[in-house]
Amino acid sequence: MKRRIAVFASGSGTNFEAIVRACADGRIDAECALMVCDKPGAKVIERAEQWGVESFVFSPRDYRSKADFEAEIVRRLDEAQVELVCLAGYMRIVGEVLLSAYEGRIINLHPALLPSFKGAHAIEQAFEAGVKVFGVTIHYVDSSLDGGAIIDQRAFYSDGESHERVEERIHQTEHALYPEVIAKLLNSKQ
């Protein structure tokens, strides 16, 4: 049986699609068994349908607590026999239920060079700080905000480019680096 991963996303899903495409063309020797989304109506849901990937879409307010919806996520991950969880624009902090069930098996893509510029507005913070080197980080998820052990980073120099151009280059970097890192992680854990 092929290795099985899950991708969590909250928005448009371009990184989800980059991962699924890498699985389809053999750059990642695995299949995306589940897409988890906390925003009904997000574009990533449509992308998952187009790629034939099973989805679990939920609204957090339909649950009594974070622990309740995370217990449901864990049940679905276990059911799908997922071994690696890849956060790709999932705009929710992972809680104790999910962290303890998948400890050491949850990774995140962050659009800045950690440990600088943690949180949801990293690109804007980097721009406001006037940095000339931008990049992305892939790291393990722990209980801290964007603070887990760094797996890989890729940087690029930018001087005078518009915010939109820098953001575009960050997305291009993410789409290349994340599938590479996922493939390496899966290969190292065979």
**Which CATH number is 3-188's, of 3.40.190.10, 3.40.50.170, 3.40.50.720, 3.20.20.105?**
3.40.50.170
Statement: residue 73 has pLDDT above 80: yes
β strands within the chain, DSSP E: 3-9, 30-37, 55-57, 84-87, 106-110, 133-140, 150-157
**Phi then psi dihedrals of residue 87, to 5 deg:** -85, 125
- What pLDDT band is residue 188 in, cutting at 50, 70 and 90? confident
Give CA–CA dist 102/99, Å, rounded.
5
Give CA–CA dist 166/54, Å, rounded.
33
pLDDT tens profile 120-151: 999 999 999 999 999 999 999 999 999 999 99
Contact between 107 and 139 (Cβ < 8 Å): yes
Tokens read off for 149:
């052990």
* pTM metric for this prediction: 0.96
* Mean of pLDDT over the chain: 96
Q: Which residues are catalytic?
A: 110
pLDDT tens profile 146-185: 999 999 999 999 988 999 999 999 999 999 999 999 999 9
